[in-house]
Amino acid sequence: MKFIGPHVSIAGGVENAPVNAASFGATAFALFTKNQRQWSAPPIPEASIAAFKENCRKYGYSAAAILPHDSYLINLGQPDPVKRAAALRAFIDELQRCRQLGLTMLNFHPGSHLKLVSEDEGCRIIADSVRSALLEVPDVCAVFENTAGQGSNLGYSFEQLAMMLEAVGMPERTGVCIDTCHAFAAGYDLSGEEGFEECFSRFDQLIGLQNLRAMHLNDSKGVLSGHLDRHAPLGQGSIGLETFGKIAADPRFENIPLILETPDESRWQQEISYCLARANG
């Protein structure tokens, strides 16, 4: 089955996320489990947890179709040990919130070395942080998202992602989410047939398609290898609509969340309908 849907709001309570997703005709969705621009948040009320689970059941969303995202503030590659400890505590809290909601994945940006250590050392720090967090919280998989390579952000290449996954050493508890805009910005040319196949062949070689846990479907306002993290609606950027149709129709991407983070909510229903039609067609 193809799980396709947007990153939806939790305004009014996390239990509203599945309701919001269903309103767009989505078969999957992403969400933040708290305000993504704050370090801490009150615990999720038990009533909200129960209502979230009930609404997921009501609208047919299994944990396999739901991709929570952690706070943008968390940097697991922070070289300063005191600041990294604070980031680790926040990441553990995010994992715990997912577990409370019955969710099995947490999508996150790996982190930044802040130009204070080498990229390899930064990758090692991130891997150590992820391993520590997973040992604290069972049942939830840490899903590394590739980055556009802007600034000192790590995880922009499949080689770096493979290095971090190997260093964590917990393959059953880790995986990768490919963001198409980020991949294109980092130099993976998804806009044509040859580049598309080369990208996923390289991923399979280095990481393994069995470790692809999710994808973010975003067109790109920037150019190939431009390292610009600016999402565009499907078909209104440099990647082009046909690529997203190919992803939707590709049997390699069955049963994982394919999440729209496109900037125009008014187009979400149209984008979902296009992808589902290609998936079924």
- Does 227 participate in catalysis according to the annotation? no
Per annotation, catalytic residue among 7, 84, 97, 109? 109
- Does 182 participate in catalysis according to the annotation? yes
Residue of 255, 270, 216 whose CA lies nearest to 27: 255
Average pLDDT value over all residues in the chain: 97
pTM: 0.97
132 vs 2: CA distance, rounded Å? 33
Per annotation, catalytic residue among 119, 128, 261, 264? 261
Average pLDDT value for residue range 188-194: 97
- pLDDT at residue 193 in the model: 95
User: Do 48 and 101 contact (CB within 8 A), yes or no?
Assistant: no
206 vs 270: CA distance, rounded Å? 34
Per annotation, catalytic residue among 179, 213, 219, 278? 179
Per annotation, catalytic residue among 231, 271, 274, 278? 231
Confidence band of 99 (pLDDT split at 50, 70, 90): very high
Confidence band of 55 (pLDDT split at 50, 70, 90): very high
Average pLDDT value for residue range 57-74: 97
Confidence band of 46 (pLDDT split at 50, 70, 90): very high
Per annotation, catalytic residue among 15, 70, 93, 145? 145
- Does 113 participate in catalysis according to the annotation? no
Per annotation, catalytic residue among 15, 61, 69, 188? 69
Count structural domains, the chain.
1
- pLDDT at residue 39 in the model: 81
Per annotation, catalytic residue among 15, 70, 94, 229? 229
Q: Is a pLDDT exceeding 80 seen at residue 37? A: no
Average pLDDT value for residue range 64-69: 98
Whole domain around residue 84: which residue ranges? 3-280
- Does 219 participate in catalysis according to the annotation? no
- Does 145 participate in catalysis according to the annotation? yes
- Does 7 participate in catalysis according to the annotation? no
The dihedral region occupied by 244, where left means phi > 0, alpha psi between -120 and 50, and beta the remainder, is alpha
- pLDDT at residue 93 in the model: 97
Q: What is the pLDDT of residues 117-147, one digit of tens each?
A: 999 999 999 999 999 999 999 999 999 999 9
Q: What is the pLDDT of residues 216-258, one digit of tens each?
A: 999 999 999 999 999 999 999 999 999 999 999 999 999 999 9
Q: What would the 3-class secondary structure string for the chain be? A: CCEEEEECCCCCCCCHHHHHHHHCCCCCEEEECCCCCCCCCCCCCHHHHHHHHHHHHHHCCCHHHEEEECCCCCCCCCCCHHHHHHHHHHHHHHHHHHHHCCCCEEEECCEECCCCCCHHHHHHHHHHHHHHHHHHCCCCEEEEECCCCCCCEECCCHHHHHHHHHHHCCHHHEEEEEEHHHHHHCCCCCCCHHHHHHHHHHHHHHCCHHHEEEEEECEECCCCCCCCCCEECCCCCCCCHHHHHHHHHCHHHCCCEEEECCCCHHHHHHHHHHHHHHHHC
CA dist list (Å): 127 to 152, 169, 180, 189, 255: 16, 9, 23, 27, 26
Structure tokens at 124: 């090692």
Per annotation, catalytic residue among 7, 113, 173, 216? 216
Amino acid at site 263: P
- pLDDT at residue 40 in the model: 80
- Does 250 participate in catalysis according to the annotation? no
User: Do 170 and 131 contact (CB within 8 A), yes or no?
Assistant: yes
Please identify which residue in the block is written with the tokens 């070689």: 205
Per annotation, catalytic residue among 57, 72, 136, 265? 72
- Does 271 participate in catalysis according to the annotation? no
Average pLDDT value for residue range 169-185: 98
8 vs 31: CA distance, rounded Å? 6
The CATH number linked to 176 is 3.20.20.150
